Amino acid sequence: MVNYSKYAMCFSASISARDGDRLASIVEVSRVDCHEKYLGLPCFSGRNKRKIFADIVERVWGRIKGWGEKLLSVGDSLATRTLKGCYFPNGNFLEATKKHSGSYLWNSLMWGKGILEKGIRWRVGNGSSIRVYKVNWVSRPYTFKILSTPALNVDTTVNNLLTSRGWNLQLLKQNFLDCDVEAVLKIPIGSSSRDDAVIWHFEGNGVYSVKSGYWLGCNSDLNPSYSCYPNSKNWWNVMWKLDLPLKLKIFIWKACNDWIPTLANLERRGLKVNKVCPLCRRAEESTLHALWDCHKMRYARMDWLPKKVVPQSRYANFLEFITDIATRIDNEALRTLCVICWRNWFLRNASIHRDNKPNYSDVVWWSRNFAAKIHASSHVKDKGLPKMNKSYPRWTAPTKGLYMINCCAISDIGTTGWVLEW
């Protein structure tokens, strides 16, 4: 069946009105000058496009506003239960990982999970559910974890750091860095009857919002801040002003940011490597271990360290180590320390990639000589080349009573000539 009341015909200018009316009467449909819309869109448009297409925008927004159902944030929804059964049946979403055979939806969620992990942390209640060294709970973006090397049991919970009056200050100072202690003391203590909760750090109410998540995603390339380490701001000013070659200062800068390719850093970047130190086989090859803590370098440590300087037995990373030592030695010793670390890295690479047997016993002697030569050369004033005397004597006539002979010779022809003047 054809509903002729919904049909209409229009003709081009080449068809006369009489012929158009006759054809419309034969087909039994109405005749119009032009269609206002075709497939929902206007056939003709003027300059005001916004007014013409406004009704389309309104219809689309009306349809979108009707999509108010939350599929993933509701724990018992069908979509949530389906994804949990497929990808994390025995854990929660934060513990789930990207699957090689995962769907496009799941892989997209895993990308978003990376942004989510940078903004969520635990809010301290009674502290019984928060493990001190393993979860985000310190209010310090963008790294919410404790930076100190574990001195307590790795499964210690936050409630063990509390007393009936608040934080156990003595216990904190004995086992954590000053920057960690300062950050922990800023955390308000809740009631012992209140449970710990996971919150979104970048909203005051602790609830995730698309706006704050988008902002964090745009700024997610920021590296974890190391500025909390003691004296780090002064360290950068001192380091860049040292009398050392630029390539050596860049190396120390990279080491402070954990950017040199140690085995631990390579493993952290996703490479499948054995991160045990290839020289001593005793510990993980971190930046601090490769440049200073390795057992093979013990002679360099004993020979260089001034008697009054006793490093801590435990440092979180190379930046903490060098900023701590830099506050207790003069610039000359600091230059030598930087050269020692640079030399240790050179010998480490020579041992691994060239099968050389490095001699660490003369590292300090070599480093001191190198640093002294660089320091001496930087203080030599550039006197420049002596100025050339560009003035040439001009010919003058001989005085009375004297004779002058001007000579000229040509070696190729073998002739000579002279002029006698008086």
What tokens does 128 get?
Answer: 């019984």
pLDDT at 35 over 70: no
Three state DSSP letters for 262-284: CHHHHHHCCCCCCCECCCCCCCE
**Is residue 259 very low, low, confident or very high in pLDDT (cuts 50, 70, 90)?**
very high
Of residues 288 and 398, more confidently modeled: 288
Q: For residue 225, is pLDDT > 50? A: no
Which residue has better confidence, 174 or 394? Answer: 174
- Please report the pLDDT score of residue 281 as a whole number: 81
Distances (CA, A) of 373 to 122, 239, 366, 367: 53, 18, 11, 10
What is the per-residue pLDDT across 129-165, written as a single tens digit (0 to 9) for each?
899 988 889 887 667 888 777 888 888 999 999 988 8
Please spell the DSSP secondary structure of 4-30, one letter per residue.
GGG-EE---TTS-HHHHHHHHHHHT-E
Rounded Cα gap, residues 380 and 401, in angstroms: 56
**pLDDT exceeds 50 at position 167:** yes
At 94-103, the pLDDT tens digits run: 788 888 888 8
Model confidence at 255, in pLDDT bands (50, 70, 90)?
very high
| pLDDT tens digits, 263-286 | 988 988 888 888 888 888 878 889
pLDDT number for residue 252: 94
Domain ranges of the chain: 4-65, 78-117, 120-218, 232-378
* 136 vs 11, more confident: 136
Residue 312 reports pLDDT greater than 80 = no
According to DSSP, the β-strands at 37-38 and 41-42 are antiparallel
What global pTM score does this model have? 0.43
Q: Which of 40-49, 140-149, 170-179, 216-225 has the lowest mean pLDDT?
A: 216-225
Please tell me the least confidently modeled range out of 30-44, 193-207, 219-233.
219-233
For residue 223, the model assigns a pLDDT of: 43
Report the percent of the chain where pLDDT is more than 70. 79
| pLDDT interval class at 390 (50, 70, 90) | low
Q: Which DSSP helix (H) or strand (E) runs through 37?
A: strand 37-38
Q: How far apart are CA 231 and CA 245, in angstroms?
A: 23
Q: Which of 2-11, 220-229, 294-303 shows the lowest per-residue confidence on average (mean pLDDT)?
A: 220-229
